[in-house]
């Protein structure tokens, strides 16, 4: 690490602190915002998330080496953490910190995008089933039952095995397409109650077509549970990606993802624990932060807490 990497890294940390402070000030204006920060782990969780997002965005600045660069294959394998290689080097003599920073892009990106795919499909299916009821509901919900009854990891392994080296967008799609079942259940339940609201009848009386009623009148009012399930789901997706990558079926080497970094370092766990431990720590930290933020969001957005 040279001096500029340190400057960039501390810059990221300071910026994350500033962001959390600003969010906190603005949230203080509303009751739900205050409920969010009343959660003791909400602010630290938000900080950890923002920090990792900053690191991911500024990866080339905070990382001293290229993520694929084998610095010296003969003499620098499994180098212990030092001032030059702060998290050490892995068995292929790559800088663990540089790979961790670049891996954040892939791991966080897959988590967010796959969840986006899952939530979009889940919301669409759930809203359609809940709004139209009758045979549409029955058909879609039986499909969801099948999806929920299927062990996801095995389904993923089967699909992923179709490719020799799976492209990252395909991986995102595959994870997203197998992850929307629970969300659709949640959205359907919410829509079943929202569709009976008078403003939905009023919108229909105005002559709005069903798609317009769903998109403009029903879904925005179901936003709270959707957001919460998405926040809690990203962590899950990241764990899934890490698991797949660890098994060698996720993000293909040498591109760094936190999961395949663990796989790379795992064989040398006894002599060089850092190359598997640090990406593992990063995963745990981010997933914990996501869960903390998701919990706090649930408390903040649940209208039943309004009276308290």
Partner 1 sequence: MTEPPEPPPLLRVRDLKTYFVTEQGSGTARAVDGVSFDVRPGETLGIVGESGCGKTVTSLSILRLIPEPPGHIRPGSFIEFEGRNILTLEPKELRAVRGNQIAMIFQEPMTSLNPVFTVGDQIAEAAIVHQHLSRAAARRRAIEMLQLVGIPDPEERVDHYPHQMSGGMRQRVMIAMALVCHPKLLIADEPTTALDVTIQAQILELLERLQAELGMAVMLITHDLGVVAGTADRVVVMYAGQVVEQASTVELFARPLHPYTEGLLASVPRLDASQQDRPRGRLHSIPGQVPAATAWPDGCRFHPRCPYAWDRCRAEEPPLLESGAHTARCWLLAEPQRRSSPVPPPPPPPP
The residues binding partner 1 (CB under 8 A) are: 134, 197-199, 201-209, 212, 216-217, 220-221, 223
Vertex 222: Cα angle to 143 and 191 (nearest 5):
50
Q: In this structure, are residues 211 and 127 in contact, taking their beta carbons and an 8 Å threshold?
A: no
Q: Given the complex with partner 1, which of 46 and 194 has the nearer CB atom?
A: 194
Minimum gap (Å) between residue 124 Cβ and partner 1: 19
Whole-number Å distance between alpha carbons of 152 and 281: 24
Q: Given the complex with partner 1, which of 151 and 207 has the nearer CB atom?
A: 207
DSSP code, position 89: B
Minimum gap (Å) between residue 208 Cβ and partner 1: 5
Centroid of chain to Cα 128: 25
Q: Given the complex with partner 1, which of 221 and 253 has the nearer CB atom?
A: 221
Q: Given the complex with partner 1, which of 84 and 209 has the nearer CB atom?
A: 209
| Residue 11 CB-density burial (10 A; 0-12 exposed, 13-18 middle, 19+ buried) | middle
Q: Given the complex with partner 1, which of 255 and 301 has the nearer CB atom?
A: 301
Vertex 99: Cα angle to 162 and 102 (nearest 5):
80
Minimum gap (Å) between residue 226 Cβ and partner 1: 13
Minimum gap (Å) between residue 224 Cβ and partner 1: 11
Minimum gap (Å) between residue 221 Cβ and partner 1: 6
Beta carbons within 8 Å of 75's beta carbon, 6+ residues apart: 93
């Amino acid at each position: 690490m040279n001096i500029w990497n340190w400057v960039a890294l501390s810059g990221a940390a300071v910026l994350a602190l500033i962001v959390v402070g600003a969010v906190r000030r603005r949230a203080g204006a509303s009751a739900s915002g205050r409920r969010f920060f009343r959660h003791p782990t909400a602010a630290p969780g938000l900080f950890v998330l923002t920090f990792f997002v900053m690191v991911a965005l500024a990866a080339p600045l905070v990382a001293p080496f290229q993520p694929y660069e084998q610095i010296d294959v003969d003499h620098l394998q499994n180098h212990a953490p030092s001032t030059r290689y702060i998290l050490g080097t892995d068995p292929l003599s790559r800088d663990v910190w540089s790979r961790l920073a670049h891996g954040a892009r892939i791991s966080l990106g897959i988590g967010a995008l796959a969840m986006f795919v899952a939530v979009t499909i889940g919301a669409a299916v759930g809203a359609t089933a809940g709004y139209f009821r009758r045979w549409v509901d029955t058909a879609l919900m039986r499909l969801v039952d099948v999806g929920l009854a299927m062990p996801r990891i095995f389904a993923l392994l089967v699909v992923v095995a179709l490719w020799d080296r799976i492209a990252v967008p395909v991986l995102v799609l595959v994870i997203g397409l197998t992850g929307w079942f629970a969300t659709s259940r949640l959205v359907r339940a919410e829509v079943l109650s929202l569709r009976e609201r008078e403003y939905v009848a009023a919108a229909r009386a105005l002559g709005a077509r069903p798609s317009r009623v769903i998109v403009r009148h029903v879904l925005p009012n179901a936003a709270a549970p959707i957001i919460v399930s998405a926040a809690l789901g990203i962590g899950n997706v990241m764990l899934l990606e890490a698991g797949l990558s660890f098994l060698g079926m996720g993000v293909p080497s040498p591109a760094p993802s936190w999961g395949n970094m663990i796989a790379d370092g795992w064989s040398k766990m006894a002599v060089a624990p850092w190359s598997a431990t640090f990406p593992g720590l990063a995963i745990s930290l981010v997933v914990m932060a996501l869960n903390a933020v998701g919990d706090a969001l649930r408390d903040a957005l649940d209208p039943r807490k309004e009276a308290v």
